[in-house]
Amino acid sequence: MSSPSETAPAGGAPRWSQARRVSIVLGLNAALIVGLVVVGVLAGSVSVLAAAGDTVADCLALALGLIAIALRDRDPDHPRANRPIAVAALVNGSLLLAVTVSVVVEAVTRLREGSPPVEGLPVVIVSLVTMIVMLAGAFVLGFSAGDEDLHMRSVLLDALADAAVAAAIVIAGVIILLTGGAYWLDPVLALGVSLVIAVAAIRLIVKSIAALRGKSVDFGDD
């Protein structure tokens, strides 16, 4: 029996292994971190820093996911072969939730005390690059990755969610540029980003716990 990382779509060429696809996405995420942190700090954008924190959490989860894939593929027919995958998905969701809490605290503080000036152009540029990179990562994974297992679904959802978030930050950056103000958009957007991430993280945690308890998990009910 072939492992899930070696299956091929019906009527098509074999996909790259899960490990290879996840490794590529990990590399793409890691390449973004420095740029996001630098621009977030210099531009004073909490939404960009939120994206940076999310990317760091993603990298940790992807690295753990690679270990889980390797453990599962050592004996894919074992009754508990997918437990490492569920653990990786659980850690992924927990890290995302932790990042979300820290971003919410910072965003609320800025809204209460007044949002400092935000440089719109660097925010637009780095967010546009992030959106392109995340869409490239989703393409590498393949949109059928969501039907493979819980971990691959979580990785694909992360990539697509990050692309959507980056697109929203681009729009906010353009508005800040055009108005020469509206700095409140940055923390408000950060709160919106946090809400999206929190919902996805909680769903992932619930599914991961269910999988660890031996219950079947439907990948297509989100």
pLDDT at 14: 43
Q: What does the angle CA 170 – CA 162 – CA 183 come to, to the nearest 5 degrees? A: 35
pLDDT tens digits along 36-83: 888 888 888 777 887 787 788 778 778 877 887 887 778 777 767 667
Which residues make Cβ contacts (< 8 Å) with residue 179, sequence separation at least 6? none
Q: Domains for the chain: give ranges and CATH numbers.
A: 17-212 (1.20.1510.10)
Instruction: Return d(Cα 141, Cα 159) in angstroms, integer.
Output: 9
- Low-confidence residues in the chain, pLDDT < 70: 1-15, 79, 81-82, 146, 214-222
Model pTM score = 0.68
pLDDT at 100: 79
pLDDT tens digits along 181-193: 777 877 887 788 7
pLDDT at 11: 40
| Residue 217 near residue 148, CB atoms below 8 Å | no
